[in-house]
Amino acid sequence: MRVGLIGFGAIGQRLARGLLAHPQRVTLSGVLVQDLSEAQAAAQDDLAQLRPLLSDSRDAWLEAAPDLVVECAGHTAVDAHAVAVLGAGCDLLLVSVGALTDDARYERLRALAEAHGRQVRLVAGAVGGIDWLTAARDAGLREVVYRGRKPPQAWRGSPAEPGRDLDALVAPTRLFEGSARQAARDFPRNANVAATVALATLGLDQTRVELWADPGVSDNQHEIEAWGEAGHLLLRLDNRPDPLNPRTSLVTAHSALRAVLNWRAPLVL
């Protein structure tokens, strides 16, 4: 299977490394980037072999004929490229799940995939338990809450920063409380998982979200609680941040890698 990537940051680089380790299963067809010189500088050591595959031209990158494209570049990249990728007949794995808080975009991508006989899949990413949640949704769910808690620095550049000295926080501080739709839209680099949990369960408007900056934690913590006919789920993940981008949990790239390797595997777990 030929796999194309969009994005070569923390997730893209870790995922590329994982794909290169499975040459019998997947071939990396190309990596679409926004800033070519920045990407070339990042392609060092074991990733240096990728330099010829880096491109800032979508047409040239699509000419390498990927079967599956993994987006790991952010909401604006979904906006810029997802339609063209599906139009070119590729499957699409979205990491920036929060881009689907826009209902029109969600429906457009779904309809395009259907028209081309392809699939858009959403990565589980930094969270777990999505299998239980989707099954429990079918059994009947009453209430779902997602709580995200990260060190203060992880919220730099987010709407939580203006008017607040993140470095001065001495106690856990709630930055946001509201719907998953608003959380994922307002915190596009921190709360994609709020959209993932919501799309797997009660939807973007009925799933409740709290986001916290906590000077007492060094991990990215994700807590999901759900109540329904199937029972009660209480799940907490203490995710190690990716050193290249501490907002992003290291496991996210591995979740994308697993999804890619499972795409056409004869036996899938």
Ligand X SMILES: O=C([O-])CC(=O)C(=O)O
Ligand Y SMILES: NC(=O)C1=CN([C@@H]2O[C@H](COP(=O)(O)OP(=O)(O)OC[C@H]3O[C@@H](n4cnc5c(N)ncnc54)[C@H](O)[C@@H]3O)[C@@H](O)[C@H]2O)C=CC1
- Give the span between the Cα atoms of 249 and 222, in whole angstroms: 10
Residue 191 interaction partner, one of ligand X, ligand Y, none, beta carbon < 5-8 Å per kind? ligand X
Is beta strand 173-179 parallel, antiparallel or unpaired with respect to 208-213? antiparallel
Q: How many residues bind ligand X, per CB under 6 A?
A: 12
Residues 234-253: x where in contact with ligand X by CB under 6 A, - otherwise, as a string: -----x-------xxx--x-
For ligand Y, the closer of residues 130 and 228 by Cβ is: 130
Cα-only R_g, the chain: 18
- Among residues 231, 250, 232, 254, the alpha carbon closest in space to that of 241 is found at 250
Pick 29 or 242: Cβ nearer ligand X: 242
Q: Is residue 80 annotated as involved in ligand binding? A: no
| Residue 75 among the catalytic residues | no
Nearer CB in complex with ligand X: 55/239: 239
- Could you tell me the smallest distance in angstroms from the CB atom of residue 226 to ligand X? 18
* E-strand stretches of 47-162: 54-55, 68-71, 91-94, 120-122, 141-150
**Phi, psi dihedrals of residue 129, rounded to the nearest 5°:** 80, 5
Catalytic residues: 222
Binding site for ligand X (CB under 6 A): 126, 189-193, 220, 239, 247-249, 252
Which residues sit in the known binding site for NAD(+)?
Answer: 126, 192
